[in-house]
Chain A
Amino acid sequence: MHRDLELARVGRRYGIRGPWVLRGVDLTVTPGSLIRVEGANGTGKSTLLRLVAGIETPTEGRVTGRPRTAYVPERFPAALPFTPSGYLTRLGAVHGLSRRSAAARAATWLERFGAAAYADTPMAQLSKGTSQKIAVAQALLADPELLVLDEAWTGLDAEARAELERAVAERTAAGGAVVFVDHDPRRLAGVPDAVHQLVGGTLERRTAPAPSPAGALTVVTARGPASGRLPADAARTAVSAEEPAPGTYRLMVPASHSDVVLRALLAAQPPWHVVSVTPSEPSDVPPDRKDRP
């Protein structure tokens, strides 16, 4: 994703005289950003996401800069006459992959979401949760530049939910944008670059960070080269960083982003040494969570 996706004064209504579901919505999705959309039931969250994903065209206003997009619906039907691996291979090809790499990635993502055992089960026989895993895998298959998640976590088991959070972290770290809606306020808490709220059909950027409950954190202790400054990717992702000894940092990272931070540390030039990685209770968070280096 090389440029921004821009929604300018976008409005949407169904039918010529229908009421406006959305009106005057402005939204810029920059590469690498993670955007959360909030709003009460029926305020048009799903409609907004469908416009962002390009599934629907706005009634008024413009959408420019469409990147390679993937979408995960809230509920994915099992009524498709394929097996998961057959479906994912075909969808990978639709997303622009070669058949061979689509098949390989389908297997990888089924494995990551713990659905490899169902790769050759007809989709009509899958449980609701397993179907949802297929929908998620379909979207992640081709490394989309924009990933749109409409309550994608609904119906997933705990491990798959955490895996999806990690996949979101990987996407944004790789420069992709992610726009999501989720009813759980702890979902990726503290991580989104922007939170937008739908009120009365228009989108308002929430300026004051709401006291969102802290998500699970991971403590990463790492030692850098003598003159080491924390790699930018790691510093940006960490909730807080302290330097108990010269050159040694203790980073508080959202659990979903621990892999991204470790990758940044180990891939830095010269590489950092990771001393320890431990899960942390939310109570360990320092009072000022924005205390960044």
Chain B
Amino acid sequence: MTALLRYQTALLLRSQRWLPPVILYAAFLGVGVQSGQPVLDSLGYTAAALLPVAAWLVRICVTGEPAAARACVTAARGPARSHLAALLTALAAAALLGTVATLIVTVISHHATNDHRLPVSPVRAGTAGLLATLACALLGSAVGALTNRPLLRSPGRAVPTMLLATLLAVVVGGSPAHAAVSGLVSGSESGRIPVSPLPLAAAALLTAAAFTTACALNGRRSS
């Protein structure tokens, strides 16, 4: 598995297909997050914006390899494990990106509530932001896993479905990403920092189920 992960990581980094989503994420944060703004509000933006980026990174990892090269790897390791390696690589990339963004946003933001009256502890805010960001990375990867190969193969169906699903995952009540992000945004009003691992745990469960489904179907459907 280590060798597969190394191979997938090298493929992702060297292909440079990670550049567009990362640049878009940076641009979005550059517009939406300014230094000196309330920290929890900005962390909410940072987490929510990561969700489509994570889904996009999954799409890059599961479709980036030419089909014949994928067949060679699949013969060596089996359809489920080779697909899992691609999904985990994308998830790790999204988690890394989100962590870096969260740290930067935590440092440059104003450590207070929206009305600038109540102080907000940067360490607790950063922890809450990190939990929310990881929940969004997980859920975005889950959406990516379920809306790309092997479930949806034609880009004409996969890309719109993926974008719609990422939007729904952020805005629909009951979604762990929505819970995590709205916890940060309302905390920025009230000053109560929502350090709860519940959304993260729920997102992890959903992602495990999504990855299992995608890996089990790889090899069953035509690739």
Contact = CB atoms under 8 A, between A and B. Distances in A.
Interface of A: 14-15, 50, 53-57, 59, 66, 68-77, 79-82, 86, 90-91, 93-96, 135, 138-139, 142, 148
B75 to A, nearest CB: 3
What are the nearest 9 A-B pairs in CB distance? A71-B75, A81-B14, A93-B3, A77-B66, A73-B68, A53-B75, A57-B219, A14-B222, A55-B74
B122 interface: no
Given A81-B14, A82-B14, A90-B10, A71 B79 contact: no
Contacts of B71: 50, 53, 55, 71, 73
Contact of A90 (B7, B15, B219): B7
B223 interface: yes
Contact of A54 (B67, B68, B75): B75
Contacts of B117: none
Nearest to A141: B76
Give the size category of B's interface with A: 20 to 34
A82 B15 CA distance: 9
A96 B66 CA distance: 22
B84 to A, nearest CB: 13
B73 A94 contact: yes
A56 B79 contact: yes
B72 A14 contact: no
A91 B7 CA distance: 8
A76 B68 contact: yes
A57 B80 CA distance: 10
A75 B71 CA distance: 11
B219 A148 contact: no
Given A73-B72, A91-B72, A139-B72, 6 more contacts: A55-B223, A74-B68, A81-B11, A86-B10, A90-B7, A94-B3
Contact of B7 (A68, A72, A93): A93
Nearest to A53: B75
A156 B200 CA distance: 52
Nearest to A72: B72
Nearest to A76: B68
A69 B4 CA distance: 15
B196 to A, nearest CB: 40
Contacts of B69: 76-77, 80
B6 interface: yes
A79 B72 CA distance: 14
Contacts of B66: 77, 79-80
A78 to B, nearest CB: 9
Contacts of A94: 3-4, 7, 73, 76-77
B221 interface: yes
Nearest to B3: A93
Contacts of B75: 53-55, 69-71, 148
Most buried by A among B6, B73, B76: B76
Given A90-B6, A94-B77, A138 B14 contact: no
B68 A93 contact: no
Contacts of B6: 90, 93
Contacts of A55: 71, 74-75, 79, 219, 223
Given A56-B219, A80-B69, A69 B11 contact: no
A200 to B, nearest CB: 21
Contact of B76 (A14, A56, A95): A95
Interface string B133-163: 0000000000000000000000000000000
Most buried by A among B15, B65, B69: B69
Nearest to B217: A57
Interface in B36-72: 65-69, 71-72
Contacts of A56: 79, 219-220, 222-223
A54 B79 contact: yes
A50 B15 CA distance: 27
Nearest to B14: A81
A54 B10 contact: no
B222 to A, nearest CB: 4
A73 to B, nearest CB: 4
